[in-house]
Amino acid sequence: MRYRVQHTTRYAYGTPVELATHMVHLRPRPQYWQTILSERIIADPLPARRRDGMDHFGNYVTWLFMDMPHADFEVTAESVVEVDRQPPPNPMTTPAWEDVVQAANTTEGWKAVEFRFPTPMAPLDPAARDYVRKSFTEGRPVLDALLDLNERFYTEFRFRSGVTTISTPVSQVMDRKEGVCQDFSHAMIAGLRGIGIPARYTSGYIRTKPPPGQVKRHGADQSHAWVGAWLGPEHGWIDVDPTNGILIKDEHVLLGWGRDFSDVSPVRGVILGGGDHVVTVGVDLEPLENEEAA
């Protein structure tokens, strides 16, 4: 599936900003199943200097440096991406989840083990751990348990915007069982890490318009988040979307991953001045049926 992606973030400041530095994670990450056909980042006003690079996790990062006063700041990322994920393994043929926990402690799991540790946004929360344990019963194949957990998040948690912020703790999300994709992802990650399964926070997009005959997905028209879980050295990582109760296939475009949201925030920075400000975000992820990549 080929998609055209456009992500625009606009800041309207109460007073002019004198100097600013912005770090943006807005360039899709190439994978063997995701090919970047074109991409560009447009900033208004034009930055005095721009630098592109990679972060610790291998995600593309762009730094924008502004040295002139400005009352507004807008950054738009445009790309054309081709997604072709392979089918997942049969859940019942994946190893018992306890074996995955043990494998993370061996040399085969050294790349995954850093995603077992708690972070401020995905702490070792007892309620999240206990919730996950209900799916991860003794000896259960890890992917079978993960899919069951993903479905429970979808059916037992309520998608409701405006009731949480990015700083809402996992404990509150578990108590209220409502929020948005970032909340559900952090809660699932906290619970999986609580039982020893490496889990990472994944940032990207989900298609704006659903396939024919399907309902619109939660999290469209904005940045989306989901969970990557390690299934052991044979099967590696697999992604699930607890907000929509689905396995990641061809409806999602990947930006990058980290330990939690703070590692892959789409736009963050430091400004001098600005006062109160208003942020607006718009995202479109549209399939290109028969178009040529621009």
Which DSSP helix (H) or strand (E) runs through 258? strand 252-258
**Judging by DSSP bridges, how do beta strands 158-159 and 178-179 pair with one another?**
parallel
Of 251, 193, 203, nearest to 223 by C-alpha is 203
Taking the C-alpha atoms of residue 255 and residue 192, their distance in angstroms, rounded to an integer, is 22
What ranges do the domains of the chain cover? 2-83+264-287, 91-249
CATH class of residue range 2-83+264-287: mainly beta
At residue 170, the pLDDT reads 98
Out of 28-32, 108-112, 169-173, 174-178, pick the least confident.
108-112
CATH of domain 91-249: 3.10.620.30
Q: How far apart are CA 84 and CA 82, in angstroms?
A: 7
Q: Looking at residue 290, what is its pLDDT?
A: 52
User: 221-232: per-residue pLDDT in tens?
Assistant: 678 999 999 999
Q: What SS3 state is found at 81?
A: strand
Q: Which tens digits make up the pLDDT trace of 122-155?
A: 999 999 999 999 999 999 999 999 999 999 999 9
